[in-house]
Amino acid sequence: MGLRDHGTLFGELGRQLGIAAGLHHTDARALVEILGAQDNGAPLTQSELSHRIGLTTGATSSLLNRLEAAGHIERVRNHADRRVVTLHATEGVDAMVDRFFDPLIDRMGAMMDGYPPELLDEFARFLGDVSRTMKGYLEELPAR
């Protein structure tokens, strides 16, 4: 129940970020995916983004054109293989995201201060295991 609630609230935060940025919810979801991949050191290609958000490559291309025109993303050619183009959020997006999430980060920090560090470490391990289990299951599902 708690993880389901978290997933629902996380989705709503993404939607609210989109509203604050003046973006359609699909564009906001794409931007969140781009930011997450970039933060993890593995920027997405257009094809990978298309798969993650469930749009055709043509629809994803239109979405990326909108995000690029608004100054939220840029497409960067890979230096090793110039055919590979990855998606990167611009610096302005980082500032916008920080403005939106900083109050929540402050609240989360205050909430977490009430828990011992070793419990938070165990919880982080638990969430990592949950994520890996879910990812493994998703990878086993037939491609759609």
Given a cut of 80, is residue 81 above it in pLDDT? no
pLDDT at 30: 94
Write the DSSP string, 22-79: T--HHHHHHHHHHHHHHHTT-PPBHHHHHHHHT--HHHHHHHHHHHHHTTSEEEEE-S
Residue carrying the six token digits 């509203």: 19
Residue carrying the six token digits 């050619």: 77
The structure tokens listed for 15 are: 């939607």
pLDDT at 142: 86
Mean pLDDT over the full length of the chain: 91
Given a cut of 80, is residue 1 above it in pLDDT? no
Q: For the chain, how far is it from start to end, CA to CA, in angstroms?
A: 27
The structure tokens listed for 121 are: 């470490």
The structure tokens listed for 100 are: 């939106």
Q: How far apart are CA 35 and CA 43, in angstroms?
A: 8
pLDDT at 144: 63
Domain ranges of the chain: 2-90
Given a cut of 70, is residue 54 above it in pLDDT? yes
Mean pLDDT value of segment 114-124: 96
Phi, psi values for residue 73, rounded to 5°? -135, 165
Could you tell me the fold of the domain covering 2-90?
Arc Repressor Mutant, subunit A (1.10.10)
Q: pLDDT (tens digit, 9 = 90+) per residue, 13-24?
A: 988 998 998 998
Mean pLDDT value of segment 111-129: 96
Choose between 59 and 81: higher pLDDT: 59
